[in-house]
A = this chain, B = another copy of it.
């Protein structure tokens, strides 16, 4: 049985020592002092470890089942959902007027990591609801907000997002689901949607489907797509669920992982829906939530990696196998623990340095979202918009790789389902795919975000790195050598790649697009390098100030040194690949593959 311990201490270090959130001028941040966030995170951690985590394997083993049109979640999910609702967790960062607690997004993110890490499939029921509620909050009429938001903020009703159809995934212009206007202002929605997470289940009184569809007679392609609210049960005058709408579950998909979440084929057979936002502006309404949703998925990459790491670490300390080549470490035992072996450490340090770096990156990104939304800071909005594909693509790719590495520590036991390590990899795998497959993230980064607003945001990023280096260098030679120099080198690689794209992409866009995936990864490494340089500086300052918990800060610095020395050199490889251009990538005719 795997373990899970919420990373409250590490989150607190990032929030208060590195980011100093309560000292920043973002509205709502002043209240976020260490005591307050510590109390929130500790409570969240208890729910994660004691309620959600024990159901993680149950969800994986049982999965969801469809019987006579009704979807049943795994044993225990319903009770746990009641507990999460009772704690007010779903509305943590939702407006007070709809029953939420109005906390900043950064707190929702820190809590979200714990919930996801302890049970991703379960937490998705709440996560999708959050996304759908945010869309209604941003684009709904007052009536729509009053009808749906109080129920959704409490998770009394849950939500879904319906985009994909069998023949249409990334390219939503191919969509066939149609919406026929009715005399009463509603629409009849007809079509089939697939891969609908939390599509149906037995934990809520109603399910609010947000459905992309084309209004009959509207423009062709993506410009004719609108967004609709289609409740499972029609809503009565008094706000209670009424008659069943014409939406049903076609089947539950058999997936590689996240078995505890009901991923459904949804059939809309003239279901009644109401326009959300403007006609033919469905994509815009969807994309409003994109930065948050994608940051949330990047967070899942981190979450699964951390959960897997915690177990790999315990196993490496417990399992006795072989002897330390430099001298026996456990003379009274039949062998030394795995953790004495350099290659096991290399593996664990990869995981640890990724996980802590990613946590800093995610929480920092969440503060940028808060700054953009709460303080109306356009620069923060531009920066987080630039980095969103990096957060989503890099952290889910690397997060997945780390779950695979964690599994490897277990040897043969890692392959046996009973030990739980397989589930971490199988669950983590989806995050590389949904909310825009990672190749699409890379395309978004290189094809759109780099040049956005005349390249202003990427220049601001480089300026931020430069300023940090200037401010931090020259005080401690060891720090400069371990952190500033590698960060500068990696940042230089990234700039060289950006320059290559500008120069060569003009001649042929394929020169840029062939390197997009490598660019996304090198960008991620530079971001984590920056986070580590910041964390190490913070930790050193705490040590210099005579902090009592020296081991914590020294470990932080040592882990950062590992990342800079062992992970950051990847940027040069990515640059070499990028600079080799499109020729070898595009050389073959499709028929000759």
Q: Mark each residue of chain A from 84 to 127: 1 if its CB lies under 8 Å from any CB of chain B, else 0.
A: 00000000000000000000000000000000000000000000
Cα–Cα distance between A174 and B417 once the two chains are bound (Å): 25
**What's the number of copies of this chain in the assembled complex?**
2
Interface string of A555-593 (1 = CB under 8 A from B): 100110110011001101100110010111111101011
Q: Is A347 among interface residues, defined by CB-CB distance under 8 A? A: yes
Which B residues touch A554, using CB under 8 A? Answer: 592
CB distance from A330 to the nearest CB of B (A): 11
Chain A, 153-187, CB within 8 A of any chain B CB: 164, 167-171, 173-174
User: With contacts A335-B174, A352-B593 known, is A342 near B513, CB below 8 A?
Assistant: yes
Interface set, chain A 465-514, CB cutoff 8 A to B:
508-510, 513-514
Chain A contributes a number of interface residues (CB within 8 A of B) equal to 95
A199 within 8 A of partner (CB): no
With a cutoff of 8 Å between Cβ atoms, the chain B residues found around residue A71 in the complex are none
Asked whether, in the complex, the Cβ of A170 is within 8 Å of the Cβ of B322, the reply is yes
Q: Is residue A415 within 8 Å, beta carbon to beta carbon, of the partner chain?
A: yes
Q: Are A555 and B508 in contact (CB under 8 A)?
A: no
Which A residues, 301 to 354, have Cβ-Cβ distances below 8 Å to chain B? 313, 317, 320-322, 325-326, 334-335, 337, 339-349, 352
A517 touches B (CB below 8 Å): yes
Q: Are A566 and B593 in contact (CB under 8 A)?
A: no
Q: A349-B584, A572-B573 are in contact. Are A411 and B169 (CB under 8 A)?
A: yes
Residues A411 and B170 in contact in the complex (CB < 8 Å), given A345-B585, A584-B565 = yes
Q: Is the interface of A mostly helix, strand, loop or mixed?
A: helix
Asked if A433 is at the interface (CB within 8 A of a chain B CB), the reply is yes
Shortest distance in angstroms between A337's beta carbon and chain B's nearest beta carbon? 7
Cross-chain contact B408 with A437 (CB below 8 angstroms): yes
Q: Once the chains bind, are B322 and A171 in contact (CB under 8 Å)?
A: yes
Residue from A255, A322, A566 having most chain B Cβ neighbours under 10 A: A566
Is A462 part of the binding interface, using a Cβ–Cβ cutoff of 8 Å? no
Q: Is B434 within 8 A of A551, CB to CB?
A: no
- The 14 listed contacts between A and B (C-beta, < 8 Å) are A171-B320, A174-B321, A174-B334, A194-B412, A195-B412, A253-B416, A256-B416, A325-B513, A326-B509, A341-B443, A341-B513, A344-B439, A404-B429, A408-B439
Q: B-contacting residues of A (Cβ < 8 Å)?
A: 164, 167-171, 173-174, 194-195, 253-257, 313, 317, 320-322, 325-326, 334-335, 337, 339-349, 352, 400, 404, 407-408, 411-412, 414-418, 422, 425-426, 429-430, 432-434, 437-439, 442-443, 447, 508-510, 513-514, 516-517, 551, 554-555, 558-559, 561-562, 565-566, 569-570, 572-573, 576-577, 580, 582-588, 590, 592-593
Closest 9 CB pairs of A and B: A569-B576, A565-B580, A342-B513, A256-B422, A562-B584, A558-B587, A573-B573, A171-B321, A342-B514
Apart from the given pairs A255-B416, A554-B592, 16 other A-B contacts in the complex at a CB distance below 8 Å: A174-B321, A194-B412, A256-B425, A256-B426, A257-B415, A325-B510, A326-B508, A339-B593, A346-B514, A349-B585, A404-B429, A408-B432, A412-B434, A555-B592, A558-B587, A569-B576
